[in-house]
Amino acid sequence: MPTEEGGRGFARLYERAHHSRALAWGVLVVAVDVLASRAAVASVPGRGPEGYTPIPFVMHVPALLASLLVASLSGPFDALECAPSPGLAAARRAHLVGWSAAYSAACLAASINDRQWDLGLSVVRSLLVWLGVALVCGRVLGWARAWIGPIGLFLPVTFVGQDANGRIAWWFWMDQPAADMHGWLLAGTALLAGVAAYTATPWRLQRLPTRATGVRHRAGRLRS
């Protein structure tokens, strides 16, 4: 059985191999960006009356964060980390959950300055959406290419998020208040899809036929 100290050492080695220094700088950049641009509005191409969709500038950040975070799961030992190792699985989970919590805390802490909880919560909600997208994309294309999902979908989503009359679509979470439940439902759905993709490791998928066969055999014995 691995000792607690050994587990901590393993986690430190994992972080060293998975860009923890870059992620730590990312936390600082997030806090500074939320503080500096919380009142700024960016215009992106859209279907609105002016030909663009205005969204808070800080809403650009979550897609980049999710891309950076999930891409950091890629490392020099990707092939080894596909093995069904409890230690590796625990270190990877701690890495993903820990840095996700750190980014969310940075967003909320930066919004305390002007008590703009609505903005901070909206940024966290957007981070959850893009994190789910990045996890699905990373599982399908490889962790190093996880950025393709959030970055590739950002402009199409903002383009159709507003109609020609300037009305905001009910699902367009980036321009909805933090209290909007549709946005949180979408965030929960995206995150669940991402978690499902994350847990669908190659060795788990290989064991599915064996488990299905075992279930059929047990069901047959119960019927007999």
pLDDT tens across 14-52, in order? 666 666 777 777 777 777 777 676 667 777 887 877 777
- DSSP code string of the chain: ---HHHHHHHHHHHHHHTTHHHHHHHHHHHHHHHHHHTT-EEEEE-SSTTSEEEEEGGGGHHHHHHHHHHHTT--TTHHHHTS--HHHHHHHHHHHHHHHHHHHHHHHHHHHTTT-HHHHHHHHHHHHHHHHHHHHHHHHH-GGGTTHHHHHHHHHHHHHSB-TT-PBPTT-GGGS-TT-HHHHHHHHHHHHHHHHHHH--HHHHHHHHHHHHHHHHHHHHHH-
pLDDT classification of 11: cutoffs 50, 70, 90: low
**Count: domains in the chain:** 1
Average pLDDT on 207-223 reads 53
Residue 215 lies in domain:
4-223
- Out of 127-136, 156-165, 197-206, 207-216, pick the least confident: 207-216
